[in-house]
Structure 1
Amino acid sequence: MHEFLVEITTTIPEGTSQEEVDRLRAAEAARARELAATGHLARLWRPVGELRSIGIWRATDENELHEKVLGTLPLRPWMTPRVTPLEPHPNDPGNGFSTR
């Protein structure tokens, strides 16, 4: 699988009831757990005070990421994703990089 840095901005349409927002957020949390269990969602952060998330996502390619992963998120119609494909860095400490 390939890794992608995905920044997602969520914009809730005006006039959307709080009940609908709460329902979709609960469905979103459940789907995120499923995607994490299958290895598609590796990490997820939210900048303080923003309706934006930054995450490390995994898929076989960018097409799968958009269609079969991000496209399955309940809040997807309200999301604007920015995807950056990633590749390993030779100095990544997580890959056993040593200063010796």
Structure 2
Amino acid sequence: MREFLVQITTTVPEGTSQDEVGRRRAAEAVRAAELAADGHLARLWRPVGELRSIGVWRAADEEELHEKVLGTLPLRPWMSLTVTPLEPHPNDPGDRSGSTV
């Protein structure tokens, strides 16, 4: 699987009821847990004081990421996304494979 850095900003449409927002947020938490269990969601952060998320997501390719992963999030219709494909860096201290490029 490839890795992608995904920045997500969620904007609730004006006039949306708090019940609808709550329902979608609860469903979002469940779906995120499922995607993490399936290996698609590796890490997720929220910058301090901001209403956006930054995460490392995994998928076979960008098409799968959009259609079968991010597209299944209950809040997706309210999201704007910035997706950056990632590749391993030879000096990554987290890479324990022992390979040198």
Divergent runs of 4+, >6 A: none
Q: TM-score, normalised by structure 1?
A: 0.94
Which residue number in structure 2 is paired with residue 37 of structure 1?
Answer: 37
User: What is the RMSD computed on CA atoms of the aligned residues?
Assistant: 1.0
- In the TM superposition, what is the alpha-carbon distance from 1:50 to its structure 2 partner? 2.1
Aligned to 2:68: 68
1:26 aligns with 2:26: yes
Task: Give 3-state SS (helix, strand or coil) of 1:93's partner.
Answer: coil
Percent of residue pairs identical: 81
Question: Matched residues in 1 for 2:2 and 2:69: separation?
Answer: 13
Post-superposition offset of 1:49: 2.5
- Cross-structure match for 2:90: 90
CA displacement at 1:48 relative to structure 2: 2.0
Q: In the alignment, what sits opposite 2:58?
A: 58
1:27, distance to aligned residue in structure 2 (A):
0.1
The TM-score normalised by the length of structure 2 is 0.93
1:80 aligns with 2:69: no
Query: Tell me, which stretches of 5 or more residues in structure 1 are unaligned?
Result: none
CA distance in 1, matches of 2:20, 2:11: 14
Counterpart position of 2:10: 10
Shift, 1:82, TM fit: 0.4
Structure 2, unmatched stretches of 5+, are none
Count of equivalent residues:
97
